[in-house]
């Protein structure tokens, strides 16, 4: 049996040192203290520290620490006589990682010296004590982790702050409960209201960033961040931590209806996808505004925009069944033909005064509930006061003779931020002054009574309010409308048997031709072969 190789220390006065602390809750000076003691010991023993490695705020349970891995890769090249550390647990808190690391260090001829732990290097008792110290390091780590998890679970079950900041909320120092941050909560409410109303996420981000608003991490708002925020149920009062959920565990900033409208818009946008044609010249194709609403009546698949070019170079635009890609369907219709049919349908809906009144009342109520309060304006003004305070403090620094590029750049940033806030505050004052007239029921009634369907905003508003889906068959269109508070949807499968479906009233009307006029631009021409079926949804 081969005997184990005896450790042979490098014969020089070179030393390396490794420092680590586990979390930001510890004082940064802990590494400085380790350095001070390491240098003092090295000087006292005639050693020169030629390389120092450190890992700040990284747990010893992690093996992929940059400083730790760099030390292991360089120790055989430097070949120092000694590695100086504070304690065994600085090197790691996993006994297997510790064993392998120590072997690698000692194989390089480097002795390990611990400043705060006295482990004999001679005799068999040193092996026993070192093994116990390694096991204690792992034991302490696991026990600490268990205690921390127990504490975090307790906090979560009682809806207490667990270190996770949420934009729009502060934390009460005494109760450790989330509380409303009056300065940022209005921005959350405006974000939900504007996205639910159809504003693009990027546009909302740009507005927030221009006003100097930043996330809880101090970064600018981006679409990914806002996407997560708009799906965060904390804003309707649900506290979440891991698998633990506490209803009403924190104050709600957004009502459930608005939150659900936002989630419905996410689903709609996903369903719609691109409203441009598929092909090589996508940028030249017009907008296919029925995308997401128009479906194939034969197979139920969505219909998307495509275009083709004739031998003469003329382009033609169509909606075609998505299943055509798999050669499972051949449904196709000219874009202008089906869009004209749907436009006539929308006009017909607004000819009904009950429909017109319902749309006007709901539109006015929506803007009253989401835009009439002054909280957003208060938030803008609070942000401006914060910027003005920062500017004043910076000017005091400059008056004391401290002037640098960094100070000048920061002053320019604050000035730009204040200008953006001033513009936003002016716009909000104007909006508030015009609100009563622009968003009255009468104003909306008049607007939609004379609806301009060439205006995409108006057309989309009527479409979104009334129409869920439109199914295209060879001889008819079937439209399902929203006539329930929760916007119940009727699927293609449910349309197969209208009589037995409990959520469908049935065929409201059936025509041999289009009821509101022709399918062509010439309104006097008959629309042979077409009939219209309207399906009304009830709960």
Residue range 412-468, pLDDT digits in tens: 888 887 888 877 777 666 655 544 555 566 666 777 777 777 777 778 778 777 788
* pLDDT confidence of residue 16: 96
pLDDT greater than 50 at residue 263: yes
* pLDDT confidence of residue 368: 65
Cα–Cα nearest to 132, from 91, 95, 92, 85: 95
**Residue 189: exposure state from Cβ atoms within 10 A (0-12, 13-18, ≥19):** buried
Alpha-carbon distance 38 to 116, whole Å?
11
Average pLDDT for 106-115: 91
pLDDT greater than 60 at residue 516: no
For residue 300, what are its two tokens?
Answer: 């139920």
Helix count (H) and strand count (E) of the chain?
A: 15, 16
Tell me which range, 252-261, 273-282, 403-412, 502-511, is most confidently predicted by mean pLDDT.
252-261
Cβ-contact 500, 508 below 8 angstroms? no
**3 or 386: which carries more pLDDT confidence?**
386
Alpha-carbon distance 160 to 151, whole Å?
11
DSSP 379-409: HHHHHHHHHHHHHHHHHHHHHTT---HHHHH
Question: For the chain, what is the mean pLDDT?
Answer: 76
Nearest 10 degrees: Cα torsion 435, 441, 445, 446 = -40
Tell me if residue 233 falls in helix, strand or coil: helix
Q: Write down the pTM of the prediction.
A: 0.46
CB proximity list for 40: less than 8 A, separation 6 or greater: none
pLDDT greater than 80 at residue 496: no
Cα–Cα nearest to 444, from 465, 427, 426, 430: 465
For residue 332, what are its two tokens?
Answer: 């196709």
For residue 283, what are its two tokens?
Answer: 């940028």
Alpha-carbon distance 23 to 19, whole Å?
13
For residue 113, what are its two tokens?
Answer: 């010296």
Distances (CA, A) of 466 to 8, 56, 359: 85, 58, 9
Report pLDDT digits (tens) over 39-54: 999 999 999 999 999 9
Cβ-contact 15, 80 below 8 angstroms? yes
For residue 78, what are its two tokens?
Answer: 């430097």
For residue 154, what are its two tokens?
Answer: 């307790």
Alpha-carbon distance 78 to 249, whole Å?
57
For residue 158, what are its two tokens?
Answer: 């009682």
**Residue 158: exposure state from Cβ atoms within 10 A (0-12, 13-18, ≥19):** middle
């Amino acid at each position: 049996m081969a005997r184990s190789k005896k450790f042979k220390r490098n014969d020089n006065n070179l030393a390396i040192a490794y420092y680590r602390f586990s979390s930001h809750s510890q004082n940064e000076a802990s590494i400085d203290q380790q350095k001070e003691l390491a240098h003092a010991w090295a000087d006292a023993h005639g050693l020169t520290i030629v390389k120092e490695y450190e890992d700040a705020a990284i747990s010893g349970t992690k093996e992929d620490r940059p400083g730790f891995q760099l030390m292991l890769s360089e120790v055989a090249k430097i070949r120092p006589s000694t590695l100086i550390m504070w304690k065994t647990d600085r090197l790691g808190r996993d006994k297997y990682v510790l064993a392998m690391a120590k072997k690698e260090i000692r194989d390089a001829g480097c002795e390990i010296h611990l400043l705060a732990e006295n482990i004999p290097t001679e005799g068999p008792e040193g092996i026993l004590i070192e093994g116990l110290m390694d096991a204690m390091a792992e034991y302490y780590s696991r026990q600490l982790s268990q205690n921390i998890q127990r504490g975090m679970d307790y906090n979560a079950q009682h809806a207490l702050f667990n270190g996770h900041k949420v934009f729009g909320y502060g934390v009460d120092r005494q109760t450790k409960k989330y509380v409303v941050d009056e300065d940022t909560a209005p921005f959350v409410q405006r974000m939900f209201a504007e996205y639910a109303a159809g504003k693009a996420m990027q546009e909302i981000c740009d507005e927030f960033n221009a006003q100097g608003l930043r996330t809880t991490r101090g970064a600018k708002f981006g679409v990914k961040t806002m996407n997560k925020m708009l799906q965060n149920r904390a804003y309707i009062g649900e506290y979440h931590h891991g698998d633990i959920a506490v209803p009403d565990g924190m104050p709600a900033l957004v009502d459930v209806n608005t939150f659900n409208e936002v989630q419905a818009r996410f689903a709609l946008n996903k369903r719609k996808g691109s409203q441009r044609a598929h092909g090589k010249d996508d940028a030249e194709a017009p907008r296919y505004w029925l995308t997401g609403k128009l479906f194939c009546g034969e197979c139920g698949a969505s219909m998307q925009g495509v275009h083709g070019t004739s031998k003469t170079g003329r382009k033609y635009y169509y909606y075609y069944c998505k299943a055509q890609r798999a050669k499972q369907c051949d449904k196709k219709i000219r874009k202008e033909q089906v869009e004209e049919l749907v436009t006539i349908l929308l006009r017909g809906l607004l000819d009904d005064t009950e429909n017109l009144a319902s749309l006007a009342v709901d539109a006015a109520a929506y803007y009253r509930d989401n835009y009439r309060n002054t909280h957003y304006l208060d938030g803008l003004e609070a942000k401006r006061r914060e910027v003005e305070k920062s500017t004043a403090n910076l000017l005091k620094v400059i008056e004391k003779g401290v002037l640098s590029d960094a100070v000048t750049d920061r002053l320019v940033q604050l000035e730009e931020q204040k200008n953006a806030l001033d513009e936003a505050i002016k716009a909000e004052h104007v909006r508030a002054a015009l609100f009563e007239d622009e968003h009255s029921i009468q104003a909306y009634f008049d607007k939609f009574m004379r609806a301009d369907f060439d205006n995409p905003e108006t057309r989309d508003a009527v479409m979104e309010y009334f129409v869920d889906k439109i199914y295209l068959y060879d001889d008819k269109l079937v439209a399902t409308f929203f006539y329930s508070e929760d916007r119940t949807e009727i699927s293609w499968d449910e349309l197969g048997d209208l009589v037995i479906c409990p959520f469908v009233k049935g065929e409201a009307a059936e025509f041999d031709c289009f009821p509101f006029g022709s399918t062509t631009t010439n309104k006097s021409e008959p629309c042979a072969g077409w009939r219209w079926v309207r399906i009304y949804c009830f709960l």
